[in-house]
Amino acid sequence: MKERGVMNLAANIEMTNNKLTIDKSAYFEVEKKQLTYLNLIEDMYAGKIYENKEYIPVNKYALVRKDNGKLLGIHTDDYIVRPYAELAEKVNEVIVEAVPDYERFTITPKDQVLEGGRKFIRTINFWDDAIDLNNYKDGGFHIKGTEEKIIPQLRIYSSMDGRWGQQIMWSSVYVVCLNGMVRPDWTFVVYNKHNDKRDISFTMNDFKMGVTAHKELGEDLFKMMQRKVTNAATTHLFRKTLASRKTKLDIDDNSMLVLKHLDHLWNQYCNKYGFTVFAIYQTATDWATNPITRGAVHNVSRKREKQVAEMMRSDYWGELYG
């Protein structure tokens, strides 16, 4: 296992004075401990086992937090430790380069160190680039009583338990309900495995392309609002995709429970947005963003977002969306 250099903690102090602050919980040191097994000698005649007091090393290492001794993961020698805050700082540097006067804008980061440090999620919302769908071009949703705005969101994922690689991706958030806006092609994603010797690459061009994609999302959502659907077509779509028996569902889900939950959400959203593809989209993203589960919400939510993206790539979606 290859260790990275210790992060510059002074950088963390400096970041607390601006809008790209990285939470102090993301700054912790880890150490690797080689695993061994106790060599035992068996006396076949006496039927007894004796300790040989010899510990044999194996090609496995425990990754442990130095501050509290918590086990984060078991890895082989090719696993490269990449601190969470180091990744967040790298993205901050790109943002500062792309938007030199960023302090003038409303930017809100949020860090989540999950499962005692095994996983990390950082989201950065850019409020000044919001799109108001109520006043979109010549049309608009014209939904009374709510602000139908979407904002671009930059997401950073990583882990130390081996479940997640490093990932930086653009998404959008629907402000009125905080649903994550899933894209069918997961465009503008950079990904890196922890055993890859190369560092993850996120450039100023990646940042700008994400902002452009967010603006194009408004066109897609407006088109969804114009497409009318029926109850039967919606149920058929869900049966063939999110609630399909072929879909790998959550531990406490089955196809009928999923369909029942989707139908409940669909009734809510079609009452607000009519019998439209947009109401289907809101139903699916709500189901992904706010899972009712006994498992870890962040794990289930990421899995469901991928399922929604697959739904939007399916022929069943294409028949409705056009």
pLDDT-derived band of residue 93, with 50, 70 and 90 as boundaries?
A: very high
User: Is residue 127 pLDDT above 70, yes or no?
Assistant: yes
Q: Using the 3D structure, point to which of 189, 217, 245 is the last residue of a domain.
A: 217
> Are residues 157 and 121 in contact, defined by beta-carbon separation less than 8 angstroms?
yes
Is residue 75 domain-resident?
no
Could you say which DSSP state residue 195 is in? Answer: T
Over residues 245-290, the pLDDT tens digits come to 665 555 455 788 889 999 999 999 999 889 999 999 999 999 988 8
pTM score over 0.75: yes
User: Is residue 179 pLDDT above 70, yes or no?
Assistant: no
Which residues pair with residue 119 across a beta bridge?
114, 159
- Tell whether 242 and 176 lie within a shared domain: no
pLDDT-derived band of residue 8, with 50, 70 and 90 as boundaries?
A: very low
Task: Note down the domain range covering 269.
Answer: 227-321
> Are residues 321 and 277 in contact, defined by beta-carbon separation less than 8 angstroms?
yes
Average pLDDT of span 290-300:
78
Is residue 136 domain-resident?
yes
Is residue 63 domain-resident?
no
- Number of domains the chain contains: 2
Q: How many CB atoms lie within 10 A of CB 31?
A: 13
Pairwise CA distance, residues 128 & 114, whole Å? 29
Is residue 158 domain-resident?
yes
What is the chain's mean pLDDT, rounded? Answer: 81
Over residues 60-83, the pLDDT tens digits come to 999 999 999 999 999 998 899 999
Residues with Cβ within 8 Å of 24's Cβ and at least 6 positions away in sequence, in order, are 12
- Based on its alpha-carbon atoms, the radius of gyration of the chain, rounded to whole angstroms, reads 24
- Tell whether 97 and 191 lie within a shared domain: yes
Is residue 17 domain-resident?
no
> Are residues 140 and 122 in contact, defined by beta-carbon separation less than 8 angstroms?
no
User: Is residue 32 pLDDT above 80, yes or no?
Assistant: yes
DSSP helix/strand/coil, 147: coil
* Secondary structure E strands in 22-106: 30-43, 48-65, 71-75
